[in-house]
Amino acid sequence: MISAILYLSWDAILMRAQRANKSWADNEEMRRLPLACIAGPFFVISSFWLAWTAKEGIHWILPTLAGILFGMGYLCLFMALLNYLVDAYEVFAASAMAAASLSRSFFGAVLPFAAKPMYRALGVAWATSLLGFFSLALCVVPFVFVRWGATMRERSPFCQYLTAKKRQDKEARDAERRGEREREARVGPQEVKGREDV
C-alpha cells in the first residue's frame, strides 16, 4: 500500500510537471527511474536490517519489520523498471518484457539451489549481508541511467532506429491527416460524412 501511494504521488508530480511544460518531465529517464532511485536504498537497508536482527536474543518483530522496507523497495523497483522497459523499447515492449520475465524466472528457479549451501556456510547474518552487498552494487544502476541514459540512447543503434521509426510513423500520420483535410476541402465535409456513414 505504501508503494502504491509513492507510485501514485510520483505520477501526480509528473503530470503536474508535464502540464506546466517543465523540461525534465519530457526526459525518458525522469518519467520512471526516480522511483527506482528511491526504492533501491530501501531494498539494501532491509537486507542488512534482516541480516543483523535475525538472531536469538532479538525479538522476532524486529527482523519481521524489515519486510516493510523490503516490500516497498521491491514493488517500487519492479513497477518503475518494468514501466521504464516499456517506455524505452516502445513498439518492441512486448519482446523486452518477455526477455525480462524469462531472465527473472531463470534466476528465480536457479538461485534457490545456492541458498541452502550459502546460508549453511555463511550463516544468516553474512549470507543475507552478501545479498545486501549485491543489492547495493545494483541500486547504483537507476542513478547511472538517470545521469547518462540520454547519452547512451544517442549512441545506441537500436535507439536511433526507434527514433527514426517514431519519426516516420508521425510523418505518415501527419500526411494522412493532411490528405483527409484536403479531401474534405475538395468535396465538402457533409459529403465526406455521408460516405463514412455508408
| CB-based burial, 146-170: b 16+ in 10 Å, e otherwise | beebeeebeeeeebeebeeeeeeee
Domain that holds residue 24: 2-152
pLDDT in tens, 24-50: 777 777 888 888 898 999 989 999 999
Judgement on whether residues 145 and 169 belong to the same structural domain of the protein: no
Block residue for cell numbers 541511467: 145
Give the tens place of pLDDT for each residue, 85-106.
888 787 788 888 899 999 999 9
**pLDDT tens column, 12-29:** 998 898 888 887 777 777
The 10s digit of each residue's pLDDT in 49-61 is 999 999 888 999 9
Same domain, yes or no: 11 and 93: yes
One domain, residues 120 and 133: yes
Do 142 and 174 lie in one domain? The reply is no
Cα–Cα nearest to 4, from 37, 31, 39, 41: 39
Please indicate, yes or no, whether residues 114 and 188 belong to a single structural domain of this protein: no
The SS3 of residue 57 is coil
Q: Terminal CA-to-CA distance of the chain, rounded, Å?
A: 51
- Quote the number of domains for the chain: 2
User: Is the pLDDT score of 192 beyond 70?
Assistant: no
pLDDT for the residue numbered 183 = 78
Among 137, 152, 167, the domain-final residue is: 152
Q: Which of 9, 14, 8 is nearest to 27 (CA)?
A: 14
As a whole number, mean pLDDT of residues 111-122 equals: 91
Can you read off the three cell numbers belonging to residue 128? 543475507
With a cut of 60, say whether residue 6 has pLDDT above it.
Answer: yes
pLDDT given at position 195: 54
Cell of 112: 534457490
Residues 108 and 30 in one domain: yes
Q: For residue 191, what pLDDT is reported?
A: 56
Task: Answer for the pair 125, 66: CB distance below 8 angstroms, yes or no.
Answer: no
Grid cell locating 80:
518503475
C-alpha–C-alpha distance, residues 142 and 29, integer Å: 9
Residues 17 and 81 in one domain: yes
pTM: 0.73
If asked whether residues 106 and 131 sit together in one domain, one would say yes
Same domain, 129 and 32: yes
Let me know whether 90 and 124 are in one domain: yes
Look over the chain and give the mean of its residue pLDDT values, rounded to a whole number.
86
Both 179 and 166 in one domain: the answer is yes
Q: Contact at 8 Å (CB) between 58 and 49?
A: no
Do residue 124 and residue 163 come from a single domain?
A: no
